[in-house]
Amino acid sequence: MRNSMSIRLNFKSSTGAVIDINRQSGMLGPGPSSIMVDKTKVKHKISDMLKDRRVKINLFCSILVWLFSSFNFYLITFYLKYFPGNIYVNSICFASADFVAFMMSGVVLKFLKIRHGLSFAYTLSMVAGITYLFNY
């Protein structure tokens, strides 16, 4: 005689659709399963997200961080030929520093929160920039 068990789950997904999972299984292993998705979708608008003050502040800060980072990265790349010394050695040093920064970013963010990691990185960049200004 075969034992039969039926499991029925009904939950909402992140898109707002209702997902109904019906799983039937017997003693010998899993049986047929059916998944039905309700096609009603919730319409989200950007204006709905921007009503939240915290989202607006996070968006503005993220835009500023991206703007400053990309501007400085590309500016340094274009200005590299004017640095004192050999351009090839400067390029190798720049590429090596970029590689080390890329590898260390994961380590820093593993131990620090994003806010503290960015603060650490910008403070380190500021100290390096001021050191560069006073040495040349």
pLDDT, one tens digit per residue, over 77-105 is 888 888 888 889 989 988 998 899 888 88
Q: Does the pLDDT of residue 122 top 90, yes or no?
A: no
pLDDT at 28: 42
Residue bearing the bigger pLDDT, 30 or 49: 49
Q: What residue ranges do the domains of the chain occupy?
A: 4-37, 45-75, 83-136
Q: pTM for this one?
A: 0.48
Question: Please, which pLDDT band fits residue 38 given cuts at 50, 70 and 90?
Answer: low
With cut-offs at 50, 70 and 90, classify the pLDDT of residue 2.
very low
DSSP assignment of 81-135? GGSSS-HHHHHHHHHHHHHHHHHHHHHHHHHS-HHHHHHHHHHHHHHHHHHHHHH
Average pLDDT (27-48) is: 60
The mean per-residue pLDDT over the stretch 56-70 comes to 88
